Every structure is written in C-alpha cells, then in structure tokens.
Chain A
Amino acid sequence: LAPWIPVVGLEIHAQISSNSKLFSGSQVQFAAPPNSLVSFFDASLPGTLPVLNRRCVEAAVMTGLALNCSINKKSLFDRKHYFYADLPAGYQITQQRVPIAVNGSLSYSLCTDNKMGQMVTKTVRIKQIQLEQDSGKSLHDDTRSQTLVDLNRAGVGLMEVVMEPDMCCGEEAAAAVRELQLILQTLGSSQAVMAEGQLRVDANVSVHHPGEPYGVRTEVKNINSMRFLAKAVDYEIQRQIEELESGGTILNETRAFDSKLGCTVPMRDKEGKQDYRFMPEPNLPPLILYDAKSLPANVNHQQVINIDWIHERLPDLPSVKREKLVEQYGILPEHSFTLLNEDGLAEFFETVVKQTQMKPKKVIGWILNDLLSYLNQHSLTVKESPVSSFLLADLLNLLEKKEISSTAAKRVLAELWKGEGKTPLEIVKEQKLELLQDQKELEQICQAVIDGQEKE
C-alpha cells in the first residue's frame, strides 16, 4: 500500500482580551446573565453604526508582530452575509479582502519519539490574521422545539489566525496551537482559555499520496480542548485513509468532533456551499496604521496607531523566555518548555533559585520531578500549590547544607504537601530526620549496631 501524507491546516479564533467589544461599547465578560451585555448595535437595532475599538486593533497588531507578519498599513472591513439566530444583523463584519496582518510564521517544538527529552523545532506559516466579530450563542431546546439566543458574545472582537497546511498530524497541530496560546497569553492580546471559548480551533484535514495533488479536505469544527484537537485531527486522518483505501471518496464537508464517541460526524446544518455575498462594510472607512516614518506631524494621538511604538513595547515571547532560562540557569531546553507550559511554574522556579544556594540545575529536578508530579496528581495549578516557593527553598537549603539526606527531603516534602503550616525545619525535628554529622556519634551508633549483631 502506498504511503499517505496527511495535511493539516488550522483556522484559530482567539477572543481579544478587551474591556469592550470590537464595534460597540458593551462589556466583554464570560458567563454573565444572558443578554445582559448587549448594546443597541449588538442587537442590530436599525440605525446603529459600528465604531472601531482601538484596543482590538492594537491586540491584532501585537499578535501580528509576534508572529513575524507584515502588518498591512491599510486594511478593509467587509460584510459576510448569512442568516442565523445568533447573528442579529444577518451579516458578520470581518476582513475578507485585505486583513490587518499577513505572511507570518510560528515556530513550535515537539518531543521526538526516541528518547524522552529530545526536542525538534518545526515551523508553520501564518497566512493571515483578520479582525472580526464573534457571534452570539444559540442553545437548542429540542423538548420545547425552541432555540434560546444569548447575544452577550455577539460582537466580541476576534482575531482569526489562519495557519497554512504545514502540519501533518494531531500532535503537531496541538503543539502549534499550544505555542500560539502561550504567545497570546504573554502578549495579553487574548487570554486564550479554550474552556471559556476564548480560543476555538477549526482543522482542515486531507490526505494524499506522495507526488499526487492534495486530496479533498474536510473541516473539523467544535474542538474545544487541546486534548481533543489532537484526537480529532488524528481520527479524521485515519477516517479519510480508511475511506479512500476501501474505494470511497472524501466529501468537501464540515464535520463536528464528538468528544464522547471520539470521532468526527457530518454537521447537519452546514450542507451545501454557502455564498456569503461579501460586500465592503460601508460604515467603516479603511483602517490606516502608521509607523514612525509615516506618522503625520500634527495628529491626535488618540486617533492613530503607530506600529513601531507597539513593536518597541512587545514583551519577551515564550521562545525568548526559554532561551533566557536555559542561558541563565543552565537547564536543558526541554526543561524550559515544561517550565513555560505550566502557568506560573517558571516564576516559581526562579523564586526558589533566588532563595536557595542549591544550583539551578539541581533545583529544576525538584521542580519538575517532585513538585510538578504532586500538582498533576492532585490536579492543582501552581497557584494552588500548598507548598510555596519559600517553603521549598527552605527545604532545599536544608538539603544543600547536608542537614538532611535527599531521601529525608522527599519525606519532608510529602509532609509539607499536607499543608498543615509546618516549616521544613519543624518537620525534620518532629520526624527526627536530621543527618548526623558528628563523626563520634556516628561511630557510637555503628558500634552499637555491630555489638547488637554480635550478640545474636
């Protein structure tokens, strides 16, 4: 059987972290009472007009710069028409013709199969980033044959990040999305929490034989966790291969991921091709951005965005942070990945290092092997850790000063984990775990043991 090459592209919708929506002043907030965050414009009351939110544009520019994109100094807004209960105006305002950022790239890393630890870096091209409105939510109540519509989310700003089909499997897709998520969170342009719907991923999947043109692709939607992303993509790849090998064909359709069954199913109401009747949004002039060179002299700074100014103020991206950790502390690259992967872990590690004489290379072992495994076992975040960085530092200091053995230290940690408020020193005293340093005392004990043995 000829080998198959799977091809995976992604369309990622990231909710912009802002106080108000993309085109109106209503608040952005998760889980508010239904229809309590809806302005006249969001409800599409006739006569209302969109007004662009500056913060959302800045978020998109930051994200574009972080992803090595060219920022379009002039971008346009369009209307994308379709009828649906959660789209009050009957159209979504998006950027179809000229989006705000294009032609970028994202580097991400994977653990290779062979040994635990070896990492390989891959790159995926970013086709574009566009600003667009989120839709409301509709809940189907089949028992009463009705649909309940909540417009709180309608109009919230989204950045759609389009990743070219440079990935080949679920693992790569998940790693790429994970890295994007970290970048967004570092920038603050999106909180990117998948569980709260702030990061939604649609996967475009196809398979083909080497040397042949790309196969028909399907779009997999409704993936709302990182775990499911890898599963959904891999399932779909497998499904397509099986279908094609048994002589079937792949339909260019939209499928939903059913997390309970672990498979993809066709989506009922997305049959047939939609003609969105794109039209320029007449109520929004072209979006003009400036850089230091093109910035006009007498201008109201409230009304303009300077790309260079934003660039200068970008924080260190995850890849840079990792490099710095490796360089500063002498830890391994794969360690730096784990540190950044857990929210707050890198800070925890650095705080411990500052407060202990133990070398960072040794501290990292305690962080990644001991602390992290405790946290994972109990499904706790770093913030929720009953063992604070100070406590751990204290403990490691005892170990470093050779006042306890490393076996004893592990026992103390277990005790600390109970969170009873005792200090490491107190626990050591309680359990009599002190290392005997006194040569004479040791000799006496050994002699006693030998003597005891002789008697028997």
Chain B
Amino acid sequence: LSQVSAALKEGRVTPTELCQRCLALIKSTKFLNAYITVAEETALKQAKESEERYKRGQPLGILDGIPVAVKDNFNTAGIETTCASNMLKGYISPYNATVVQKLLDQGAVLLGKTNLDEFAMGSGSTDGVFGPVRNPWSYSKQYKEKSVPKSHSEDEDSNWVITGGSSGGSAAAVSSFTCFAALGSDTGGSTRNPAAHCGVVGLKPTYGLISRHGLIPLVNSMDVPGILTRCVDDAAVLLGSLAGHDPKDSTTIQDDFKPFELPNLTDVSKLSIGIPKEYHAPGLSSEILALWSKAADLFKNAGAKVVEVSLPHTRYSIVCYHVLCTAEVASNMARFDGLEYGHRSDKKESTESMYAATRREGFNDVVRGRILSGNYFLLKQNYEKYFVKALKVRRLIANDFMKVFRSGVDILLTPTTLSDAAPYMEFIQEDNRTRSAQDDILTQAANMAGLPAINVPTALSERGLPVGLQFIGRSFQEKQLLTVAKWFEKQVQFPMIQLEEVKKHDNSVFQHQKSASFS
C-alpha cells in the first residue's frame, strides 16, 4: 500500500487509472464470481474526487484513492447489500457501516461488494444465491502445472478449487489483484480460512477493537470485521484506519487506539512462541503438519523460545460454537419477516402465513437449519442444558488461552486449515454443517476467546496451492502480533500468484518481491 500511495503522490499513476485497471481486471476475472455488485459509477466518481485532492496536494491519507472491496454483509448506502441471500436481494441500505464510512472518509475507492456464503454461514463461499466463488489459484500457473489433466475438455472448468469461507469473495478479490485490500468478517474463521486458501493475509482483530455497526450479524458475541491484504504491513495500515471506539457499537472498548507502524523485527530472541498440541487435529494433512514444524524450527533457529503448550478444551469448541452460534442466528434472523424491508412473499391469508412463506423463500437450507437448531436450544426446557453449558465451556476455552499467555508465551503458532483448498466437486460432497465443523476447528477458538489472530501465507502445497499458518496473540496486542507475523512473512517469502489475467494488466504497481518460496 505504501508503494501505491507513494506512486499516487508522485503522480506516477492517478486514482482514476488505478480504479479503471481494477475494474477492467474485475471484468476479465468475472469467472471467479468474487463480486456480487461492482459499483463502477460511484467508484470512478470517488477516484476522480481523490484525484482532485492529490492535484491540490491534499490527500486524506495513505488510503486516499486506493481501490478496496467490501464483503456483501456490510451495509453500504446506495449500493445493494444482499448477504448472498434471496431475503435481501435488491436491498439498498440507507446507511454505511462504520468501517465502510471510515474507509470512504479516508478517500478509499469502493469497487464493489464481494461474494460470500449466505449470511456468512459456511466455510467454502459456496452456499450463496449468486453461486460459489472460485479460487484464483485454480487458474494459476503454479496449480495448473501440478494438476493431473484428466481429459482436455474437463480441465479448466471442473478442476477449480474453492476459496474457503465465508469471506471467499474478498479473499479472491485481493488474491487476484482486483483490489488492494478487502473487508471480510470473521466469526469462526471466515476471514482467516479463505485467506489461507487464497494465499493472502487475513487478520481477525480482537473483539471490541473494530466497530460492528453496520455489519449484518451472524453471532454478535463473536463477529468481527476482518481485514484481507497482500502483506502484513498493509493489514496494519487498514487496522490503523478502522480501529477505535464507536459510540454506535456498545461492545467496542472505550480506550483510545493509536495506529502504529510495524517495526522491522530482527531479533526474536525475546519472543516465546507457543505450539498448542491440541491443534494437531485429526485430519490435519501431513504437508501442513510438516510446514508447521518447519515454522517452529524457523523461530527456534532464530533464537526464539519455542514451547509446546496445551489448550485442553479445544476439542469442545466446535460443539460449543454450534450451540451458541445457532442460538444467536435464530435470534438475529427473527427480524427478517418481510415487513419493513427485504423479500416479502405474496401469501396474504394471514400475517403468520406471510412470515412463514417469506422466510422459507428468503433463506437457504443452511440458514433455516441453524434457525431451527438455535430455537431448539433456546427453549425454556433446554436453555440450561445447552446454552448455559455452552457459555460455561466458552469461559473454559477462554481461560485456556489466558493461562498460556500468563505463563510467559507471547504468541501461539498453529495451522490455519487442515489442508489446502479442496476442489469444488469434492467439497460439495459433504453438507455445509459437516464442512463447517471440520474446517472451523483451528480458527474458531480464537473467536470464542475474542483474541486477535492472523493468517500468513507460508508456502505452496504439493498441488501448487497456498497454505498458510496462523498466529494468535493476546487481547488488544495487535502490534506485537503483526510484528511477529511480519517477521515470519519476510522469512518465508511466499510466491506471487502467476495469473494470466493479471499479467495482461501488469504494471509496476502490482509487483511484489519475487524470490524462492519457503517449501
């Protein structure tokens, strides 16, 4: 980002040019289905205004003129917000989410809204009404080289892999260079999971640091806006522009937030890295296990203290999450009745029948399934058995982390996903609930405990697809977390994606450092 920002300041490129290039790239990568809405007119208008400011020598900051994308579960005034659901198709919100407003206030150019699993429920970005998102790496030279061609006609279209989810559209957009940064959301891993599969940085901030006002909620007590960028420094920039108390969100902390620049860490000898043994989960691919081990060695060889730690309640987190998540979903979705906004069924016999038909027509199976489960858990006779118990288990999980951090560990290092991205055809063999339960296991405890966590792209798998590793930090210690992540990023030198479409639009602005990859 700092490079682009400098280029804009020096006039080597204009905001309008930047915007146009991104829009063109979006068009030529349409097959990725990363965007639900492309706000071409407004984006160009914003770019023009930015240009005026640069001409006057008064840019608003480092984000001025930078094209960004926003997951379609954030409210954007005047631009459709659908949550990839029939319930909100055509819904044009009258207000901007606080984070969107902040981006716009700093001159960012909003290119459009990205695709997701319906209402952010899912781990593949495959269950939205606008269709699945395709991982840009499916079309990369690296993947194509490694994949076994079955038959010539089948090749391109059936072999593509998923982005992971639920912020798959945002991850794909950043990964394919159609924007410089994107907003996602993270409730159980929905920013970090697709970040890992798409080879980008995915940051989940501490709960309460960034405002949720305007983010259509999945689980109010776990949701956070997520940040997706191509490098850790960029994530720090975005964090700096978004964090801070919002009077409109009573769950944001009141403390002043000071944006920071990341130091270039050279000496890691004072660091203590924890390796939680429970994260060696069943189903973890041997590849990722090896990578994780290598990363631990990397820290050790550089002088850091690397210790094995235990988070004993990790294995209960999935079930606990399931109860709490579905209960909140049942509650949060109660407002969708077709009366004030959104889809309304034609059934007119009674208010009740209209509600029922509206909700049946508006929601997909995944959403409806969670609503039914959630209502079951909230029944008076079940409340103590499930909901209260889950809250208690949640407390235990959070305490696990506290104990470990109190014992002197600074950062935890874990895998982000169990394996690299699965081919779509394989992924859809199992249902959403099964997949979510499998895929969330490494990311979801951080949401339970409200801790900050980040995915850093680490290496390419045997199949030529990205694999990332996760760092989990202490509450509100994003600076330390990102500093360590930046150091790691520098060590591993993750390769740039080689995409035809991007090459065509190539320009010095898009270039990364290219060097030998980590694996």
Residues of A at under 8 Å CB distance from B? 40, 43-52, 79, 81, 83, 85, 88-91, 145, 147, 149, 275-279, 282-285, 303
Q: Cβ of A85: which chain B residues have Cβ within 8 Å of it?
A: 339, 351
Nearest chain B CB to A11 CB, angstrom units? 20
Top 6 A-B residue pairs of the complex, sorted by shortest distance between their CB atoms: A90-B334, A277-B378, A282-B220, A282-B221, A44-B335, A46-B216
24 contacts between A and B (CB under 8 A): A43-B341, A44-B335, A44-B340, A46-B216, A46-B336, A47-B75, A47-B215, A48-B213, A49-B212, A49-B213, A49-B249, A51-B248, A81-B331, A83-B355, A88-B335, A88-B340, A91-B334, A145-B348, A275-B379, A277-B379, A277-B380, A279-B387, A283-B249, A303-B254
A169 to chain B, nearest CB (A): 33
Known contacts being A51-B247, A81-B331, A88-B335, is A45 close to B379, with CB within 8 Å? no
Contact assessment for B387 and A47 in the assembled complex, using a CB-CB cutoff below 8 Å: no
Q: Which residue of B lies closest to A84 (CB)?
A: B351
A-binding residues in B (CB < 8 A): 74-75, 81, 83, 88, 93-95, 97, 212-217, 219-221, 247-251, 254, 327-328, 330-331, 333-337, 339-341, 348, 351-352, 355, 375, 378-380, 383, 387
Which residues on the B side are within 8 Å of A47 (C-beta)? 74-75, 93, 97, 213-217
B378 touches A284 (CB 8 A): no
Interface centre among B81, B94, B335 (most CB of A within 10 A): B335
Chain B residues near A282: list those with CB within 8 A: 219-221, 251, 328
Chain A residues with Cβ below 8 Å from B352 are 83
Query: Which residues on A sit within 8 Å (CB–CB) of B217?
Result: 46-47
A49, B208: Cα distance in complex, Å: 14
C-alpha spacing A85/B340, complex, angstroms: 10
**Known contacts A46-B75, A52-B250; A277 and B351 CB within 8 A of each other:** no
CB-defined contacts of B339 to chain A, threshold 8 Å? 85, 88, 149
Taking CB atoms, residues of chain A closer than 8 Å to B214 are 47-48
For A283, the chain B residues whose CB sits under 8 A away are 220, 249-251
Residues in B with CB closer than 8 Å to A50 are 250
Please, which residues of chain B bring their CB within 8 A of the CB of A91?
Answer: 331, 334
Knowing A45-B94, A47-B97, A279-B327, say if A83 contacts B250 (CB, 8 Å). no
Q: How far is the CA of A44 from the CA of B332 in the complex (A)?
A: 10
Neighbouring A residues of B220 by C-beta, 8 Å: 282-283
Evaluate contact between B380 and A40: CB separation under 8 angstroms.
no
What residues of chain B lie closer than 8 Å to A43, measured between beta carbons? 340-341
Beyond known contacts A51-B248, A91-B331, A283-B251: 7 more, CB 8 A cutoff: A45-B341, A46-B217, A47-B214, A49-B213, A90-B337, A149-B339, A283-B220
Look across to chain A and name the residue whose beta carbon is closest to the beta carbon of B348: A145
User: Smallest distance from the beta carbon of B460 to chain A beta carbons, Å?
Assistant: 38
Please state if B337 and A83 are interface contacts (CB–CB under 8 Å): yes
Please give the distance in Å from B64's CB to the nearest CB on chain A: 26
Chain A residues in 8 Å Cβ range of B341: 43, 45
Q: Are A49 and B216 in contact (CB under 8 A)?
A: no
Min Cβ gap A389→B in Å is 48
Q: Are A147 and B351 in contact (CB under 8 A)?
A: yes
Q: How far is the CB of B354 from chain A (nearest CB, A)?
A: 10
Cβ distance B386 to chain A, nearest Cβ, rounded Å: 11
Closest A residue, CB atoms, query B91: A46
Q: Is the CB of B340 within 8 A of A45?
A: yes
Chain B residue, CB-CB nearest to A46: B216
Q: Decide: B334 and A81 in contact? CB cutoff 8 A.
A: yes
User: Smallest CB–CB gap between B102 and chain A, Å?
Assistant: 15
Q: For the complex, give the distance between the alpha carbons of A284 and B330 in Å.
A: 18
Residue of B at shortest CB range from A151? B340
Q: Please classify the interface of chain B as helix (H, G, I), strand (E, B), loop, or mixed, using the class held by over half of its residues.
A: loop
User: Which of A40, A51, A285, A303 sits near B94, CB closer than 8 Å?
Assistant: A40
Give the distance in Å from the alpha carbon of A77 to the alpha carbon of B74 in the complex: 26
Q: How far is the CB of A164 from chain B (nearest CB, A)?
A: 23
Contact A46/B383 with A85-B339, A88-B339, A90-B337 known, Cβ cut-off 8 Å: no
Contact of A275 among B93, B216, B254, B380 (CB under 8 A): B380
Chain B positions within 8 Å of A275 at CB level: 379-380
Give, as a whole number of angstroms, the nearest-CB distance from A76 to chain B: 13
Query: Are B93 and A45 in contact, CB atoms less than 8 angstroms apart?
Result: yes
What are the residues of chain A within 8 A of B216 when measuring CB–CB? 46-47
**What residues of A have a CB within 8 angstroms of the CB of B383 in the complex?**
278
Q: Most chain-B Cβ atoms within 10 A of its Cβ — which of A40, A47, A81, A276?
A: A47
Tell me whether B334 and A89 are in contact (CB under 8 A).
yes
- Closest B residue to A89 using CB positions: B335
Inter-subunit contact B380/A79 (CB<8 Å): no
Query: Contacts of A46 on B, CB cut-off 8 Å?
Result: 75, 81, 83, 88, 93, 216-217, 335-336
Contacts of B348 in A (CB 8 A): 145
Bound complex: CA A303 to CA B253 (Å): 13
Q: Is the CB of B340 within 8 A of A278?
A: no
Residue of A nearest to B74 (CB): A47
Identify the closest chain A residue to B328 (Cβ): A282
User: Closest A-chain residue to B93, C-beta based?
Assistant: A45
Give the complex CA separation of A275 and B248 in angstroms: 31
Contact A279 B378 (CB under 8 A): yes
**CA A47 to CA B185, docked complex, whole Å:** 13
The distance in angstroms between the C-alpha atoms of A282 and B221, with both chains bound, is 6
Q: CA–CA, A40 to B96, complex, Å?
A: 12
CB distance from A186 to the nearest CB of B (A): 32
**Chain A's nearest CB lies how many Å from the CB of B332?**
8
Q: How far, in Å, is B303 (CB) from chain A's closest CB?
A: 41
Residue in B97, B327, B337, B379 whose Cβ sees the most chain A Cβ within 10 Å:
B337
Nearest A residue to B376 via CB reads A277
Beta-carbon contact of B250 and A49 below 8 Å: yes
Minimum CB–CB distance from B294 to chain A (whole Å) comes to: 40
A83 vs B339: C-alpha distance when bound (angstroms): 12
B333 cross-chain contacts in A, Cβ below 8 A: 90
A52 CA to B247 CA, complexed, in Å: 10
Inter-chain CA distance A208–B248, complex, in Å, is 52
Instruction: Name the contact of B330 in the complex, choosing from A45, A145, A276, A277 (C-beta under 8 A).
Output: A277
Question: For A303, what are the chain B residues with a Cβ–Cβ distance below 8 Å?
Answer: 254
With both beta carbons as reference points, the residue of chain A lying nearest to B378 in the complex is identified as A277
Q: In the complex, which of the residues A52, A90, A149, A276 contacts B335, with contact meaning CB atoms closer than 8 Å? A: A90
| Cα A83 to Cα B331 with chains together (Å) | 11
Distance A50 CA – B335 CA, assembled complex (angstroms)? 14
Q: Across the interface, which residues of B come within 8 angstroms of A83, CB to CB?
A: 334, 337, 352, 355
A278 touches B378 (CB 8 A): yes
> CA separation between A252 and B387, bound complex, in Å?
29
Q: Is B95 touching A49 in the complex (CB atoms < 8 A)?
A: no
A49→B249 CA distance, assembly (Å) = 6
CB distance from A82 to the nearest CB of B (A): 9
Expressed in whole angstroms, the minimum distance between the Cβ of A75 and any Cβ of chain B is: 15
Closest CB-CB distance, A300 to chain B, in whole Å?
Answer: 8
Say whether B250 contacts A284, CB under 8 Å. Answer: yes
CA distance A372 to B405 in the complex (A): 75
Q: For the complex, what is the distance from the CA of A285 to the CA of B327, rounded to whole Å?
A: 18
**Chain A residue with the shortest CB-CB distance to B334:** A90
Chain A residues with Cβ below 8 Å from B221 are 282
CB distance from A20 to the nearest CB of B (A): 14
- A83→B358 CA distance, assembly (Å): 13
Q: How far is the CB of B331 from chain A (nearest CB, A)?
A: 6
